Structure 1
Amino acid sequence: MRSALPAFNEVWQRQFRSNCLKQLQNFSENSSFLIGCSGGMDSMLLLHLMSFLCPEKVRAIYVDHQLQSSSEQWGQFVLAQCQQLNIPCIVQTVDVADGNLESQARSARYQAYSHHIQPHEILLLAHHQQDQAETLMLRLLSGAGIHGLAAMREIDVRQNLTIWRPLLNISHEKICQWASQLNVQNIQDPTNYDTHYDRAWCREELWHILQSRYPKMQQALSRTSYLMQDAEDILHEVLLQDLALCGNDVELGLHIFNQLNPPRQRQLLSAWMKGGDQYRPSFDMVERIQNEVIHSKKDSQAALHWNGYFYVRYQDQLYRIKKEEYLAEKTEIFEIQNIKFELNESVSLASGQYKIQTENIGLSFELLNKKLTIEQRKGGEKIHLYGRIGSWPLKKAIQEAHIFPWQRHTIQILSIDNVMLGAFTPKGFWFAQSVYCETGGWQPKLMNKDQTHR
């Protein structure tokens, strides 16, 4: 098949090779490429072109979604074509979760890509100009904003992989021509023509009607996506500034947030909720966060769940909390247990990692290596904090310390013979006044996350 290259050389140099060489300069010299191959014309053409351009730096992967009776045979076809081109090939079977079939299949596919991608390896996908135009049109019909209408980028840098789409500016007609000139063998997936799926409906039903009226529609929509990418880049700079003013990836300060105008509030909230995921929340979900959480009554415990996180307002702050952390209070029950401490040892408890060390004022050394009792807070307890006058409700101390409600179940009380020695809290160990207090004693010291990994 490589013998077809000389006849193809003129087009190759002008429209594909020159563009690829320009992009290759942006990658490390050590970069190699993993091509996602479905067996269709587009991906098989890309496989052939890259085998000419970088024959020693290319691998291929076929993801079998097990949704078609012929999917296993298609994997064998891709494998055989790769063997002819002397390209290593992975055939990966995946299970597609229930739900929107197109979305779940895409998610399973990208999980397979992420699993097999190697350091310094770039994922190559064969999306072309018509794919870009279809994506923009479908997102427009779903009510997408700038982020959605930016559609696909030629170079897409994500958290765990970098994607390159070398054919994104090439028309489908040109791809068909090139594939014919190179005699590229491929398979036909019948779902590409099944109008039950949105993209197939767009391609088979809507596309021809619009193109008969607007012959250059494909190029125009593709150009719009690039204009939206410029707008998205500018908007991203504003978002970073707003995020720096309002908080971080975990929390937003609502006092400053509420001073932004409504469009900037919506954009910041949408981007903040997206986090490291690929897709932003829907417009309706952003409005629900604003109406049901941010603008809820101050004394309410409003919380809204979306995409594995709970969004909660507390003390004029909006928090983004992992689902398992927020619901831990309902599932984590810590039984009364006996515990012994040694000087300089590290101890892992519900509220954090502690180190036993000497302090100016602390517990008597007689208590080291002695059986102490630790139990979960039940409610109604009183504590006489060292240095303060009299006992007061532990609940009040917790409220004054602004310990998050979803973390209060981790508070544990340390005692011996029914004498309270202190309380382990997410804000540290609260040392209690007792007969066991002495100068130069010891206390558990809460370690920060950086210290726990040393």
Structure 2
Amino acid sequence: MRCTLSTFNEVWQRQFRLSVLKQLNLFQEDTQYLIGCSGGMDSMLLLHLMSQIFPEKIRAIYVNHQLQQVSDDWAKFVLAQCHQLNIPCVVQPVQVMHGNLENQAREARYQAFQQHLKPNEILVLAHHQQDQAETLMLRLLSGAGVQGLSAMKQIDQRDALTIWRPLLDTSREQICQWTSQLDIAYVDDPTNADPHYDRAWCRQELWHILQSRYPKMQQAVARTSYLMQDADEILQDVLKQDLDVCGNSQYLNLAQFQQLSRARQRQLLSAWMKGQDTYRPPFEMVQRIQDEVIDSKPDAQAALHWNGYYYVRYQQVLYRLDQAIYLAEKNIQNVKPQQIQFNLNQFLDLESGQFQVNMTKMGLSFALLGQSLTLSRRIGGEKIHLYGRVGSWPLKKAIQEAQIFPWMRHTIQILSIDNVMLGVFTPKGFWLAQSAYCEVGGWQPNLVSQL
């Protein structure tokens, strides 16, 4: 005898509704729910269950990856089912980039979700216990650490995106049973059985072998993910403390860093390199930065490139530099000297920063204001007689003594008139040069901020 919705209520109120209501304590009362619906069995069951609990608070989204000829038909199916349940639904076509198809499709899907989420909505997905176990297994085979083996969280907060997976503790068998009892229509994606894809291979080839030996393997693996989530939460607390001691998202103080145990160094370095990205760097890359940059000889100009950043050691500090910043000097063409004029209170945006022309106790002659002065790059070998110091000395030595970062030295510019050096613009400010143009109560460009 087929189970009707009214008799089914007695089943899922105990197994699903109670679980859902417990999780709802973490949400605001006015929260709305956007359900990611692919048309498959899992998401169609979720759609029906959520329509019973929150008939006025839900809407659905179907992301059309346009990878199969039947994708448009599936979109029409989802729209028809939502119409029947009186649920608003949007269909969003996406273009999947080249590369790993599974990863790129997932990336396109989440971008579509974020595009349609409203400020008071959370994203609801139909991932279940077997999905969780498969995720952990695949990550284990790829060499993931604690964070990777945490797999999926039931309630996952990612910046402005909150994901809720109310079926995560529900077995695939239970979902099949409920779907059959309620006579819920769904579509069957043939790629789910294509072992060319990692997840389908895991499901079709690996799963039955493991379950034949370990019948409760799926529950055990899923439980491991929760234990890993606890371990990861503890690890994140330790990492935050270590980062507070050693630096911030831009640099690590190696004197402090090297006081940590080797394991904590490795974990901190991995998390620091990850930054705001989704995934941590490969273990091999973390080890290379440790060996080739941090542990290199003190006088080595060590740098390593990974994922759009350069990791550079300077003065016992490890810096994480955007590729464009690190390579800026190499991309500079031969630039001819330029003519520039100064006026009081004027703001100047130069390569080394933003400067403002102000009166000062000792500075340049007011006779130079409004005149055409020359601004040029250093070419090497220049000497500077800094005001207030005895004698001239190499500009290079002054730059080194000021500890101006090597990757910022190309921004240094020399100000002169008739081949007389007036001063030097640097990321540390304007250096006034001793000359016949210095006078008491003159003017000087003062650094306002670095650009």
TM-score w.r.t. the length of structure 1 is 0.92
Other-structure match for 2:299: 299
Other-structure match for 1:408: 409
Residue 276 of structure 2 is aligned to residue 276 of structure 1: yes
Other-structure match for 2:142: 142
Gap regions ≥5 residues in structure 1: none
Write out aligned runs for 1:248-287 (5 A): 248-287=248-287
* Distance in 1 between residues matched to 2:417 and 2:77, nearest whole Å: 72
Residue by residue over 1:387-440, the C-alpha shift from the partner in whole angstroms, topping out at 9 and shown as x without a partner, is 212222221111112222111112222223322222222222222222232233
Provide the alpha-carbon RMSD of the alignment: 2.1
Write out aligned runs for 1:11-410 (5 A): 11-333=11-333, 335-410=336-411
Greater shift in the superposed pair: 269-278 or 357-366: 357-366
Other-structure match for 2:10: 10
Distance change in 2, residues 1:440/1:263 (3 Å):
same
* Distance in 2 between residues matched to 1:30 and 1:439, nearest whole Å: 67
Distance change in 2, residues 1:50/1:364 (3 Å):
farther
Number of matched pairs? 448
Shift of 1:203: 0.4
Residue 437 of structure 2 is aligned to residue 433 of structure 1: no
Shift of 1:212: 1.4
Shift of 1:335: 4.6
Shift of 1:4: 6.1
Greater shift in the superposed pair: 113-122 or 298-307: 113-122
State the one-letter code of the partner of 2:125. Answer: L
Distance change in 2, residues 1:185/1:433 (3 Å):
farther
Structure 1 runs of 4+ with >4 Å offset = none
Residue by residue over 1:102-127, the C-alpha shift from the partner in whole angstroms, topping out at 9 and shown as x without a partner, is 22222222222233333232122211
* Distance in 1 between residues matched to 2:184 and 2:283, nearest whole Å: 43
Residue by residue over 1:129-178, the C-alpha shift from the partner in whole angstroms, topping out at 9 and shown as x without a partner, is 11011111111122222111111111111134222111111111111222
CA contact (8 A) 1:159 1:276 kept: no
Residue 443 of structure 2 is aligned to residue 442 of structure 1: yes
* Distance in 2 between residues matched to 1:180 and 1:8, nearest whole Å: 11
State the one-letter code of the partner of 1:338. Answer: Q
Shift of 1:386: 1.8
Residue by residue over 1:275-329, the C-alpha shift from the partner in whole angstroms, topping out at 9 and shown as x without a partner, is 1111111111111111121112222222222122111111111111112221222
Shift of 1:267: 0.7
TM-score w.r.t. the length of structure 2 is 0.93
Distance change in 2, residues 1:44/1:448 (3 Å):
farther
Gap regions ≥5 residues in structure 2: none
State the one-letter code of the partner of 1:309. Answer: Y
State the one-letter code of the partner of 1:340. Answer: Q
State the one-letter code of the partner of 1:426. Answer: P
Shift of 1:22: 2.5
CA contact (8 A) 2:429 2:446 kept: yes
Distance change in 2, residues 1:25/1:208 (3 Å):
same
* Distance in 1 between residues matched to 2:380 and 2:277, nearest whole Å: 39
Shift of 1:64: 2.4
CA contact (8 A) 2:355 2:449 kept: no
Distance change in 2, residues 1:286/1:417 (3 Å):
same
The SS at the match of 1:6 is helix
Residue by residue over 1:210-247, the C-alpha shift from the partner in whole angstroms, topping out at 9 and shown as x without a partner, is 11111111111111111111111111111111111111
* Distance in 2 between residues matched to 1:58 and 1:342, nearest whole Å: 62
Distance change in 2, residues 1:258/1:62 (3 Å):
same
Percent of aligned pairs with the same residue?
69
* Distance in 2 between residues matched to 1:365 and 1:80, nearest whole Å: 79
Distance change in 2, residues 1:337/1:231 (3 Å):
same
Distance change in 2, residues 1:58/1:397 (3 Å):
farther
State the one-letter code of the partner of 2:97. Answer: A
Greater shift in the superposed pair: 436-445 or 241-250: 436-445
